[in-house]
Each structure stands twice: as C-alpha cells, then as structure tokens.
Chain A
C-alpha cells in the first residue's frame, strides 16, 4: 500500500469509520480519538496492508478499539447503560430515525456493532465475522436478535406516537 493509497483511504473511509464509532459510543471526542488510532495503526503497517483490504483492516481495528473503550467506560460508569435505557423511554420521538437512534444504544455492544456494520457498510456475515473475530453463525444470531429487539421497540413506540 502506497502513501497515495493510504491518503485515499482517509478520504474514502474516515467518515464511515467515524460514523460507526460515534453512533456506537455516542461520544464524538472519543470516536475521533479512536478513528485517529485506527488510521495510525494502518499507517504504521502501511507496507504490510494490501490496499484492497484497507477498509476491512480499519474496521477491524476500530471495532476492537471500540470494544476496549466500551469495557473501560462500563467499568467507570456501570450504571450508564441501564440509565440510558430508562432515559430513552422518556424521550419525545419525532420520527423513526430518531427512535432507532435511541433504541440502538440499548443493544449489547457486539449486537449493535454487527448490525451497524451490516446496515451502514453492507458487510456480509462472513466479512463481519472476519472483522469482529466472531463466527458467521454468531454474527447471524446477533443480527437476528438485534432485529427482533429493534422491531419490538419501534413497534411499541410507533403505537404511542
């Protein structure tokens, strides 16, 4: 991978990686740092990474850094997830997108990540499995369970709206 390839990756994937991270952890500053870390790692290994696999490499790095970050956050704020769930129910929803934004954070981190990779980036089960280190079956199960959870949430909320 050349320097030009690397810079092309920045143009093509920085927003996607950032979007994936910021929607996951809901903290733009931390998401920015994680994006920077992911690209820094890519830069260090620029000679080893094939340009065609750079996106997957970036998402793999970003995913693992994200999981680490979530673990750290959970250790520091063990009640955050639960509180967020209650808080979310009290919101006044204006549209479906907003509802989804609110309920997606209630998913367990791994389910949330795989659904995001599936929907945002259109990755196949196999690709997601490679990025996350899960098996294809696990990825599929996570996606199915996440869909049911989201469906139930938006189903009950849209009835109220």
Chain B
C-alpha cells in the first residue's frame, strides 16, 4: 500500500471526502494527520469546497411542447371539434369535450358548422355505361386456340408412354458429358472433342474420365457429332453438364414423320418463323410445348410452368407441370 506523504496527500484527502477509503487506509490517513497536524486545516478547507446543487428549472418548457392540433395546423378548439366528429377522441376526452360544449356556446356553434362540412354522396349521380363495363368471359385472341391445341398436343405426344420422340428419333441426342468437353466460349456451344465413344448398348463412358455410366436418350452416328449445335445446362450432379444436341442438316434423311410435319407447320404458320430457320433446325415437341406455354403466359398471364427434371446420370426423371389451379408431376417411363 502506498503510504500517505506530503507529495500525495491531496489524493488521499479527495478519496476520504468522497468516502472511498477502506478501514486500513483510514488508519493510514490518521497516522499521517497525527504526524502532520497542520494538514488537518487543509483537509477542513477542502471540505468547504463542496458545491450544493441549485434548483434551477427552465420556465419555458410548455412553450416548447406541441399538441396534435399544432401538428394538424389547426387551432385547439377546431381540433377538438373535428376529432369529436371523426370519432378520434377517447372516452374521457369525449366526456370532457361534451362538458365544454355545455358551457361554451361558441364551441357548440363551431361544432355545428363542422358537422355541416360532412359530404353526402349524391345519389343522383350514377355511372352511365355500367353495362358496357361488364364482361361475359375472358377475352382470348382467335389464334390462341390453335396455339393452345398445339401445346396440349405436344404435351400429349411427349408424355405418351413409349412414344417419346426424343428417345426414338435418330437425329436427336441428349446425353450427359463432362463440362470440360464443351466449348462454352462460343455463342454456339460445340463439343470440343468429337471422339466421344458412343456405345452399342444403352449407356456409354466418357473416355479418360471417371467410370460413370451415362445413359444417352438416343444415339447418333458418330461422324455427325462435330456438326451438332449443342445447348448445355448444369446437371444436378457436380461437374456434369447436360448437352442437348440437334442435327443441322437433314441431308441423309428424306422422310418426315408425322410429328415433324406438325412441328414444321407449327413453326411456319403459327410462330411465323423464317423458312430457312424452319428447314435448318428441328424442334423437339418439348420445345413446342415450352414455346406454347410461354406464349400463353404472355398473352393470358396464366402463370403455367412446365419443367423437366433429370436424375444424376442425366436421364429424364419426371416432368413437372405447375399452374395456379393445378400442379402435377409425371414420372418419365
């Protein structure tokens, strides 16, 4: 413990005056004062330095306050009258206001005038064209019906068990490939490597990669691979992209299936796409349905959504259909 001395006694005195000294320190202070009795007077003088708190209050407090009437920019009397009329007063305020009304004739007159400001709906005014506003049914453009029919037909074809055109069509291939095999830098995504081995059996391996048996949805002549435009999207499985490939040319193919005919007509006549595009690219029925649904959504704001769901090996698992009224999921066979 630091001893009290002539060089630090002020600190001890202050602590003493503020009651911060414990028993042993008080004894130490006594010891110091008995050694230096002249310091007792100084301690007494320090005690006199205490300033008592004065009771000073700000008199203009009420002038700083604001009432709801000030906020509304009206006088207090007006405010009370309107608040009474509008039902904004609580029970006790209402009673107080009614008491005031009994005493004050001017206030009564004021309230009367305020009650006269209430507007009354003019029953003689009516909307003259009401019948024209009414609707019999949703307005649908005439061409929406064939479009809707195409969508339904497309879905029906696509979902029909064992009739999935993508699987059986010789010019369509959907497969899972490693992302590194796709050249994603170009606008038209192409396969970097055209040497992918297509197996004879359903299922093939990606050469040099992990032994993942990937089921293609259909097969394609190997020589055609490098001509294919490829669209790619991320699979559920990390590092695997789903590549959907379609033939550009039908040079080695002269026939046209019923659904191809339907699609061509659909593109030409309903979507109104240029003839060269119609010839060069084939649509899958899925795309027809997808385009149709989009058009329906745009035109009628129906909020219908169809989507395909794949498993980790890139095979189609199910088709989901969502609308405001109906949501269903159809497993793919």
Task: List the interface of chain A (C-beta within 8 A of B).
Answer: 3, 6-7, 10-11, 14-19, 22-23, 32, 35-36, 39, 43-44, 46-47, 96-97, 100, 104, 115-116, 118-120, 137, 140-141, 143-148, 150-151, 154-155, 158
Contact = CB atoms under 8 A, between A and B. Distances in A.
Contact of A145 (B72, B86, B88): B72
| Closest A-B pairs by Cβ, 8 of them | A18-B127, A119-B119, A150-B117, A144-B72, A14-B127, A10-B133, A15-B126, A120-B121
Contact of B122 (A19, A115, A155): A19
Given A3-B135, A22-B125, A119-B119, A151 B72 contact: no
Given A6-B135, A115-B119, 6 more contacts: A18-B127, A19-B122, A19-B126, A100-B117, A154-B116, A154-B117
B82 A144 contact: yes
Contact of B72 (A44, A104, A141): A141
A37 B110 CA distance: 41
Interface stretch (B73-81, B219-227, B283-291): B73-81
Contacts of B79: 144
A23 B88 CA distance: 26
5 contacts: A15-B125, A119-B121, A141-B71, A144-B73, A147-B82
B120 interface: yes
B78 to A, nearest CB: 5
Contacts of B72: 140-141, 144-145
Contact of B119 (A15, A39, A120): A120
Contacts of A137: 71
Interface in B113-134: 113-114, 116-122, 125-130, 133-134
Interface SS majority for chain B? loop
Interface SS majority for chain A? helix
A153 to B, nearest CB: 9
Contacts of B324: 47
A128 B296 CA distance: 37
Question: Which of the listed residues A16, A39, A97, A154 has the most CB atoms from chain B within 10 Å of its own CB?
Answer: A39
B103 interface: no
Contacts of A46: 138
A95 to B, nearest CB: 11
B7 interface: no
Contacts of B136: 3
Contacts of B45: none
B138 A119 contact: no
A7 B82 contact: no
Given A6-B135, A19-B122, A119-B118, A145 B127 contact: no
Contact of A151 (B73, B88, B110, B128): B110
B301 interface: yes
A35 B116 CA distance: 29
Contact of B126 (A7, A10, A18): A18
Contact of A19 (B114, B121, B134): B121
B186 interface: no
Given A14-B127, A151-B114, A104 B122 contact: no
A115 B119 CA distance: 8
B96 interface: no
B73 A145 contact: yes
B122 A23 contact: yes
B137 interface: yes
Nearest to B71: A141
Contact of A32 (B74, B121, B129): B129
Nearest to A120: B121
Interface in B57-72: 71-72
A27 to B, nearest CB: 13
B116 A10 contact: no
Contacts of B116: 96, 100, 151, 154
Contacts of A145: 72-74
Contacts of B114: 147, 151
